[in-house]
Structure 1
Amino acid sequence: SNFPHCLGAIDGKHIRIIMPEKSGSMYYNYKNYFSIVLLAVADSNYRFTYIDIGAYGKECDSTIFKESSLWKLMEKNELHIPDPELINELQDQDFPYVFLGDEAFALTTNLLRPFGGYHLTTTKKVFNYRLSRARRYVECAFGILSNKWRILHRPLNVATDFAVDIVKAACILHNIIREKDGLHYEGHEINELPVMEFEDAVHQANYVRGGRHANEIRNKYAEYFVSDAGSVPWQNSSI
């Protein structure tokens, strides 16, 4: 992914369902259909390393994440994230291990999101590009999941609890197939991946400022990506 110390990319995907009885608008999402939300973390092999499935379709990613077991373990410092350390021998600063999210997620010391606003500096644009490129792994994982288990291309006409079980099973089988005989993409080939037919995640959250320490960590990564130690040849032509 060319994003060092990355613990995985996190995102949400709407799973279409038939409107549950007596549910009102709880499952009705901003795209005007009924859904439950799959919140997932994927690694650079397109495998799911964490899933949370079953949240109401009307909820946004940030709300779902704040109610997930992953967030609670992060908040309690019980996720056993490795201590910060050097990325390589060309630099002398320790960098923390981080998850990568989009604008829907709040910036924390262990979860980085893009810089917001317009007229960004080149350094910030490069950071956003590097983060976005690494985040494509979870988006592509959703696409591979849906294209393999095409039942996810149409509304699940089952009880909500059963729909949750179906998605859990699909994610487990997805990982098994990735391990056994799934397609393998090298890092440089991610730009050549086809556009997958899957629903985008919820990106309607308000901009949230991180704390001072979280901003310092993001700035440190941004500076690293434009340094001799951390830059890649194609980044400037991609921003």
Structure 2
Amino acid sequence: MQFIYVLPGWEGSAADGRVLLDALLRPHGLKVPRCWLYNGEGFLAPYRGQRYHLNDWRARHQPTTPTELFNMRHSSVKNVIERCFGILKERWGILRDKSNYPIDLKNKIIMACCLLHNYIRQEMTSGPFENHFELDE
């Protein structure tokens, strides 16, 4: 997996929806094809009141309704994204460090790590970090 859009500078506690809205509203912001979890009016969120987390589904507890199936697949996609961030942090220790660099420098470091990650992925399709996290392409 490679990073196609990076928006550093937000606090880790910021809500996903708030960060997404900021990315979409920027002058040269994130452009998302309509077919990607998007219904024309907004992004599709998991159904409330239904099982969501992958741990909720075991070999004997498969989804039984269309809403549970959607939630299971939504959760799978989210897990892949989280593993990508895990790989990035494993590869670049500076991203795990609570450094005292100014925020603009931290943002540049994040961008540089993402660019280097993408370059490495282009040159070397698998490596120790990808195998460790069992990331599927």
Common fold by TM > 0.5 = yes
2: CA distance, partners of 1:99 / 1:53: 23
How far 1:62 sits from its partner (Å)?
Answer: 1.7
1:148-227 mapped onto 2 (5 Å cutoff) = 148-183=91-126, 193=134
Q: Deviations over 1:188-229 (max 9, x none)?
A: xx9x838xxxxxxxxxxxxxxxxxxxxxxxxxxxxxxxxxxx
**What SS does the aligned partner of 2:10 have?**
strand
Q: Is this contact kept in 1: 2:88–2:117, CA < 8 A?
A: yes
- Give the root-mean-square deviation of aligned CA atoms: 3.1
2: CA distance, partners of 1:132 / 1:153: 25
Q: Percent identity?
A: 27
Paired residues in the alignment total 117
Q: Is this contact kept in 1: 2:37–2:44, CA < 8 A?
A: yes
1:147 aligns to 2:100 (yes or no): no
1:123 aligns to 2:66 (yes or no): yes
Structure number with greater Rg is 1
Q: Deviations over 1:32-59 (max 9, x none)?
A: xxxxxxxxxxxxxx21111111124553
**What SS does the aligned partner of 2:4 have?**
strand
Q: Partner residue of 1:55? A: 10
Q: Partner residue of 1:64? A: 19
Q: Specify every segment of 5 or more residues in structure 2 that has no aligned partner in the other structure, as ranges.
A: 52-62
**What SS does the aligned partner of 2:80 have?**
helix
**What SS does the aligned partner of 1:112 have?**
coil
Q: Is this contact kept in 2: 1:97–1:110, CA < 8 A?
A: no
**What SS does the aligned partner of 2:114 have?**
helix
Q: Is this contact kept in 2: 1:48–1:175, CA < 8 A?
A: yes
Q: Is this contact kept in 2: 1:98–1:112, CA < 8 A?
A: no
**What SS does the aligned partner of 1:165 have?**
helix
Q: Of 138, 161, 164, which aligns to 2:81?
A: 138
Q: Is this contact kept in 2: 1:48–1:171, CA < 8 A?
A: yes
* TM-score with structure 1 setting the length: 0.42
Name the structure with the higher strand share: 1
In the alignment, residue 67 of structure 1 is paired with which amino acid?
D
Q: Partner residue of 2:58? A: none
How far 1:135 sits from its partner (Å)?
Answer: 2.4
Q: Of 32, 36, 41, which aligns to 1:98?
A: 36
How far 1:133 sits from its partner (Å)?
Answer: 1.2
In the alignment, residue 5 of structure 2 is paired with which amino acid?
Y
How far 1:61 sits from its partner (Å)?
Answer: 2.1
